[in-house]
Structure 1
């Protein structure tokens, strides 16, 4: 089940307002799609569809996949959304004959796979949908930077004014660290009616070596491991290729 922050329609509808409107984290993926001259893309864990719609605007054939129906409902209201095929579910729901040049997993969505079995199964399924030479590109946080130490209310509190919805206050709180699993809670307060909605999440932190080993086990060749340009030193961007 997806976390409430993605699955609750009221939260999904305002999710983009709490992120940078420019989404500089998506620029490297757009550039890679052009550098690799891809025509087809599967955006896995597409959320509210920002990357999928940007790719569609560039003439790519895009499938956006996400288990949260509320997020997809928000995505379908975006410009160019009618040019994207939306799939409510996981990559396991895609027919076996669907092949693509590129699979993207942005926003640290690769960290929602908590067990090694679930992660490896996902990697293998991704490989099965890649054409020969097709690539899987995803990002994860560098666990050595211990990002969770800043997930506290005093450092994460924010209030924004959303059109037609009014002021919304939000903050994050660290709940538990049982490394490599880290749990936290996001709280949203809608000032217009006093509604408070909380969403709890758990992420799996894998080291660079662990990720490389898992890609090798899934028979994907690691072409490169890069810094996230907008967060240098904090995240890894993996580029893996299907040799088959």
Structure 2
């Protein structure tokens, strides 16, 4: 995979926390964590979730983007997390965890079946006996990318450094089932334009379930949203929660 500027350009990374709050995700993850004493957050990004887990737990946050980890280290409670720059397909921490997470739709940046199986293998390799895993992916049947067009996605964001900024997306489904999209930001005061090009996959629930089984994992529950609703074919999210087989 090529480096995505959305996660590697410090100017673009500055927008991440402004447009990705994840409050429902955070609450559900904390509830599902139960009495987990150790947590591995793969694809931790700017560290919102990892830092929230750091109270009384041993937490490791892993991300391939150094610019995201720079933000993570500076956030409140960031000093209580061990931040590691690494690739979720190949990294091996050398210990196991009570909970392994891969949230924020990070599973979708892995475009091939081979890469998806590699990530699931990393999850399995780091699960302690009795531990659980949790990750999310958008349900392709909902076709969320159809809303990622300028006329439906445009919003104004108040940025602490740039002031008011207009943001929008434009997306297209490629012939191979991969969605390509561009993220745009236009600084109102200066007209400065920032843009990143990204690609994500939309594996089906059946494909995800097959990958889970192939890597020695078992999904105990399938959620369709971060409020805890059960998965249905019309759910926006595919969220498996499970353990080692």
TM-score by length of 1: 0.92
| Superposed displacement of residue 231, structure 1 | 9.3
Number of paired residues?
A: 238
TM-superposition CA deviations, 1:177-209 (whole Å, max 9, x none)? 335311111111223443211111111111111
For the pair 1:219 / 2:216, whether they are aligned, the reply is yes
For the pair 1:90 / 2:91, whether they are aligned, the reply is no
The counterpart of 2:236, out of the listed 234, 237, 244, is: 234
TM-superposition CA deviations, 1:130-159 (whole Å, max 9, x none)? 112222100111111111111100110011
TM-superposition CA deviations, 1:21-59 (whole Å, max 9, x none)? x6222211111112xx11111111111110001101x32
Deviating 4+ runs (over 6 angstroms): none
The counterpart of 2:41, out of the listed 33, 40, 43, is: 43
| Superposed displacement of residue 230, structure 1 | 4.7
Could you tell me which runs of 5 or more consecutive residues in structure 1 were left unpaired when the two chains were aligned.
none
CA distance in 1, matches of 2:174, 2:30: 34
CA distance in 2, matches of 1:139, 1:75: 21
CA distance in 2, matches of 1:200, 1:176: 14
CA distance in 2, matches of 1:159, 1:224: 37
Q: Could you tell me which residue of structure 1 aligns to residue 13 of structure 2? A: 12
TM-score by length of 2: 0.91
CA distance in 2, matches of 1:178, 1:28: 35
For the pair 1:117 / 2:118, whether they are aligned, the reply is no
Could you tell me which runs of 5 or more consecutive residues in structure 2 were left unpaired when the two chains were aligned.
230-234
For residue 93 of structure 1, give the secondary structure of its aligned residue in structure 2: coil
Deviates more, 1:167-176 or 1:138-147: 167-176
Q: Could you tell me which residue of structure 1 aligns to residue 26 of structure 2? A: 26
| Superposed displacement of residue 240, structure 1 | 2.3
| Superposed displacement of residue 176, structure 1 | 3.4
CA distance in 2, matches of 1:74, 1:13: 8
TM-superposition CA deviations, 1:114-138 (whole Å, max 9, x none)? 1111111111122111112222100
